[in-house]
Structure 1
Amino acid sequence: MRFRMKKRLILLSILAGSLQFSCTKHFDELNVDPNQASEAIFNANLLLPSAQWKYVESISGYNSVLFQSMWIQAYASTSTGGANYYSNGDKYVLSNNTLSYLDRVWNNAYNAASFAYEMEQLAKKKGGMSNLENIGTIMQIQSLATASDVFGDIPYSQALQAKTGNITQPTYDTQESIYKSLLTRLETAVTALNANQAAPTNDAFAYKGNIGQWKRYGYSLMLKLAMRLTKADPTTAKTYAEKAAAGGVFTSVADDAYVMADLTNSYTNANASALATAADLYQLRWSKTMIDYLKSNEDPRLGKIAEVPAAGLAANQTATGGDNTPANQLGLPNGYDLSGGATDITKAPNYPGATGTGNDVTPLGKYSRPTNVFRNQSGPLFVLTYAETELLLAEAATRGYTVTGSAATHYKNAVSAGLQSLAKFGTTVAIDAATADAYATAHPLVAANALKQINEQYWATTSILQNFIEAWSNWRRSGYPQLTPVNYTGNFSSGSIPRRELYPTGEGSLNPTNYKEAASRLPNGDVWTSRIWWDKQ
């Protein structure tokens, strides 16, 4: 893995430097430097880890920790705007860098799609690389689906064609047409994967080019995209969920799709970086919503992921370990501050009191924060997991779709897998299979409450694995967990949890006609509260 990371460092410095833009005119500026390797000798395999790395950058770091992690009440913060950037998420209040953060999902998702597209085209030209070609299609689909999930209508049919088609102002396709195209293309690409053909040689996933696992990844992605449509297009949702289940999705935690970061070679885990400073350590806590959920379910993850810092302000601003005792964990309620007014945390119901004495006192001292494993800048960045897949199969079975196995069995598998996947963060938080299985057996699916139970578990699992955009997307689709929004003074969403992100700031000037048309199709225009196509009430 470290060897592959070094390759990625070299490759990104050569190929990605010109792609750090929010505007659509730079979608495909790859391999245009005459001093670089020509297509005839360049190994298309080298583009795969770049596509994978740029994708995980699109779903991690400040662009998700500062927004979605607190929109869905996994994390909470007393930050109050201005330079205190966590106000974006906890209170839906602008900070100095809000507009900069908004560009990051768009930039990185299209960067990832550009690398994948270039890889696909190069593999096609060279011949004998059909698996790499189809994996390129799959990675484009993953990236563009995420961009559409975050923004709604996006450039799709004319995207990635700045070089080959000289299209620098692409039209925005409707999300409905995008999703239907993505599912069709995905079916073709996954079906075409062939273990008898050459495998990719520079895979940043733990698959190491294993085509069987890539095939399961493709079908699991198909299942996820299909289930996005349960309200917007139930017929398409059922058709493709059943195709995915029949094709063969993930079968164990060994199939989890994730990328290990590599701080030594400058591939920093952006989620960990967003929790690293003294201010981050002090201001960011687990939300009361999350801690209460884990406590009420006696979830063994609680004692692994949360700690109460040692008493006092200084201890709350350092990474020194705290108290992991599950019974002592306490979540910070969202929407409070340290400003001394009516929304000061000391006015919160059941406020537990401060810790420390004299000048070393802190009102936040008894609230739980993430443990040190989440600050490991060489830690894992999750893309799609067996636990998510089993939860989606459990929901599919609950909805009456034709899938092998009962909803109860899939739910049990998912609960156990969600606990076991924590081991990717390190041995200190690992939960062994026997413990995970025993817990899952003791906490079965209740048929009368199935959709709520399944999707609350999906929220908890994806949030704990730090995939906050996925947790937010599934919350918007399913409505679970049922969250009480924050209505803080000066918020940008009228006291509602945001349903989408705004289009990047450059789109209005660099692609004005198409941007305006796309914005006009949104229910309330280009605002935080407009629901995208699949986000139905």
Structure 2
Amino acid sequence: MKKILIPCLAVIMALQACDKGFIDLNTDPTKTTNAYPQQFLANALMKSVEYNMIRNRNLNNELMQVTVDIGDGDGKVFRYDFRRNWADYLWNGHFTNMSNYRDMYLKAVEPINYSRAYQAVSLICQTWTYSILTDTYGDIPYSQATLGRDSLILEPKFDSQKDIYIDMIAKLDSANTLLRLSPSTELIDAEADLVYKGDKTKWRKFGNSLMLRLLLRIAHKPEMAAYVTKMQEMFTTNAANYPIMTSNADAAILRWTGIGAFVSPYSLLRVQDFRAVSIASFFIDFLRDSYDPRMDISLYNTLYGTTGSSNNRWGISPVSGNYVGIPSGYAPNGGEYTRQSYFYSSDQTAAVSLQTEPMTGMIMNFAEVEFIKAELALKGLLAGDPKTFFYSGAQNSITLWMPGWTKPIQQHLSESDIDWDDNDSFEDKMERIHKQKYFALFLVDMQQWFEYRRTGHPVLPKGNGLKNNGEMPARLYYPVYVQSSNPTSYKNAVRQQGPDEINTKVWWQKP
């Protein structure tokens, strides 16, 4: 035995001797293994926008009658025929990417990297992402989410949506304070910041505008009355401390450059797939009948004798010179529908195409803020005339895409017979606000769907082929694998919120 052990020990000692200094020898002394807050930002922003754009295209647009994926097979979103596996994409993507925002925050609180600015940006981005998740699914992992690596919490609890909203608003309030206190010497890397190029003032405006979006969504809940007061504080008593978006220059947009990694996910789709989907009648009829310049400035010029150089800003294809859509929700085998007008693909070189359009990375825009104010004024929660905010929202919704368009908005709406009417009923005025807001929210993740679920506006026609008893789905299912990977928390969530079905209303949808 000794004859065996002694040579073995000698070999082990020799190997240890060979390893001496190996790590030092193979470590580059000019580089650091420590990550900086800014190193998480660019990739995290791109991933968040990418997930939102894909779900905007294949879920929101089909539900909200922007497009119709023609076909008589099962699992057609425009018929409310949902499959459970649709839940996975947004859930997996956003929760995985959330670790980047969390790591950015953790690095920004370390003494060596301390930055109030990066802490604030992280809190804003976390809230933006979590708000989309909770508005899609309802109760979700929140307070214990993304803690598996550090705290070994592998089965996080599902927080109630009410508690999530309270904390999200608190995070945005903290972000506003952090940016206010951030010294001028504390910079945000312009190359890493794909939205505002390091402009802290615009990040602050975005965070507060996002807060208004969330506050409006819960303002009708009796138990949230204090948050109505919060909105009024932001507009009046403490407005100087809560700057919000005041022009299209403040819009939160990740503009795709097409250079390097900064490529729109739409451009990665096959061109034949991108243009295969038809535009819905509800969407295109309104644009056509109101001579909306974003669809085709030439129509507007012909009618009113004006001139313009930005033709067909949204890249919509006419059919034999006309703009024609497909009715959404049609019954299987209920008509011989073929593709009509569609969004041009990038290989159609004579046309503008959303497939390569830089502004498809839409996060939040100024027009939405104006429509929020219009609704609040209509409900008596904000001083001012709602039509003033309505006009501003409609004007800036168009000029965001067509900055050279100078037609007075009231004249345009009046000539198109869609002007504000003081004699309208409350519901008619809500419809006017939300019909215009619907187009302002074009390409903004799933905000059209969220707003429809909150208000019932704009009123959508219902085809006779709708499934789910013709009821707009109120949420997505939880991913199936969650039932086995986190069974206790899943069961508690179902017990707390209601059945894991598409008609179970989330907290803010309930009276």
Asked whether the two chains share a fold, i.e. TM above 0.5, the reply is: yes
Q: Are 2:133 and 1:147 equivalent residues in the alignment?
A: yes
Q: Which residue of 1 aligns with 2:216?
A: 227
Q: Which residue of 2 aligns with 1:488?
A: 465
Q: Are 2:382 and 1:392 equivalent residues in the alignment?
A: no
Structure 1 window deviating more from structure 2 (156-165 vs 105-114): it is 105-114
Residue type at the aligned position of 1:333: P
Residue type at the aligned position of 2:203: W
183, 207, 231: which one aligns with 1:196: 183
Q: Are 2:104 and 1:119 equivalent residues in the alignment?
A: yes
The 1:154/1:129 distance shift into structure 2, 3 A limit, reads same
Residue type at the aligned position of 2:335: D
Q: Which residue of 2 aligns with 1:171?
A: 157
The 1:279/1:182 distance shift into structure 2, 3 A limit, reads closer
Q: Distance in 2 between matches of 1:159 and 1:324?
A: 49
272, 287, 291: which one aligns with 1:278: 272
TM-superposed CA distance for 1:335, in Å, is: 2.5
Q: Are 2:59 and 1:70 equivalent residues in the alignment?
A: no
Indicate the RMSD between aligned Cα atoms, in angstroms: 3.0
Q: Are 2:425 and 1:452 equivalent residues in the alignment?
A: no
8 Å CA contact 2:119, 2:178 repeated in 1 = no
Q: Which residue of 2 aligns with 1:22?
A: none
Runs (4+) of structure 1 moved beyond 6 Å? 37-40
Q: Are 2:475 and 1:500 equivalent residues in the alignment?
A: yes
TM-superposed CA distance for 1:272, in Å, is: 5.0
The 1:435/1:111 distance shift into structure 2, 3 A limit, reads farther
| 1:456-467 matched pairs, under 5 angstroms | 456-463=435-442, 466-467=443-444
Q: Which residue of 2 aligns with 1:435?
A: 407
264, 284, 288: which one aligns with 1:269: 264
8 Å CA contact 2:477, 2:500 repeated in 1 = yes
TM-superposed CA distance for 1:279, in Å, is: 4.2
Q: Distance in 2 between matches of 1:59 and 1:142?
A: 11
- Structure 2 residues not aligned, in runs of 5+: 1-26, 300-314, 345-351
Q: Which residue of 1 aligns with 2:390?
A: 411
TM-superposed CA distance for 1:164, in Å, is: 2.5
Q: Which residue of 2 aligns with 1:315?
A: none
The 1:180/1:251 distance shift into structure 2, 3 A limit, reads same
The 1:131/1:321 distance shift into structure 2, 3 A limit, reads closer
Q: Distance in 1 between matches of 2:292 and 2:193?
A: 31
Q: Distance in 2 between matches of 1:328 and 1:514?
A: 53
| 1:91-490 matched pairs, under 5 angstroms | 91-93=79-81, 98-125=83-110, 126-194=112-180, 196-197=183-184, 198-201=186-189, 202-233=191-222, 235-245=225-235, 246=239, 247-271=242-266, 273=268, 276-282=270-276, 284-303=277-296, 322-323=317-318, 328-336=322-330, 341=333, 343-345=334-336, 363-364=338-339, 367-371=340-344, 372-376=352-356, 380-402=360-382, 405-422=384-401, 430=402, 432-435=404-407, 437=409, 442=414, 444-447=419-422, 448=424, 449-463=428-442, 466-486=443-463, 488=465
Residues 68-114 of structure 1 show CA distances to partners (whole Å, capped at 9, x for unaligned) of 211111112322336xxxx53222335xxx55542121122223322
The 1:504/1:399 distance shift into structure 2, 3 A limit, reads same
Structure 1 window deviating more from structure 2 (236-245 vs 152-161): it is 236-245
The 1:434/1:191 distance shift into structure 2, 3 A limit, reads same
Structure 1 window deviating more from structure 2 (373-382 vs 245-254): it is 373-382
Determine helix, strand or coil for the equivalent of 1:250. coil
The 1:395/1:435 distance shift into structure 2, 3 A limit, reads same
Residue type at the aligned position of 1:345: E
Q: Which residue of 2 aligns with 1:511?
A: 486
The 1:321/1:503 distance shift into structure 2, 3 A limit, reads closer
TM-superposed CA distance for 1:437, in Å, is: 4.4
Structure 1 window deviating more from structure 2 (134-143 vs 287-296): it is 287-296
8 Å CA contact 2:65, 2:280 repeated in 1 = yes
Q: Distance in 2 between matches of 1:127 and 1:438?
A: 51
The 1:417/1:205 distance shift into structure 2, 3 A limit, reads farther
8 Å CA contact 1:226, 1:241 repeated in 2 = yes
Q: TM-score, length-normalised on structure 1?
A: 0.76
Residue type at the aligned position of 1:200: I
Residue type at the aligned position of 2:141: P
Residues 270-325 of structure 1 show CA distances to partners (whole Å, capped at 9, x for unaligned) of 34555x4424423x12211112222343322232699xxxxxxxxxxxxx984389
Residue type at the aligned position of 1:119: M
Determine helix, strand or coil for the equivalent of 2:296. helix
TM-superposed CA distance for 1:504, in Å, is: 1.5
TM-superposed CA distance for 1:378, in Å, is: 5.3
8 Å CA contact 2:354, 2:360 repeated in 1 = no
| 1:37-76 matched pairs, under 5 angstroms | 41-61=34-54, 63-76=55-68
The 1:330/1:176 distance shift into structure 2, 3 A limit, reads same
Q: TM-score, length-normalised on structure 2?
A: 0.79
The 1:473/1:513 distance shift into structure 2, 3 A limit, reads same
The 1:242/1:131 distance shift into structure 2, 3 A limit, reads same
8 Å CA contact 2:330, 2:464 repeated in 1 = no
8 Å CA contact 1:334, 1:486 repeated in 2 = yes
Residue type at the aligned position of 1:385: N
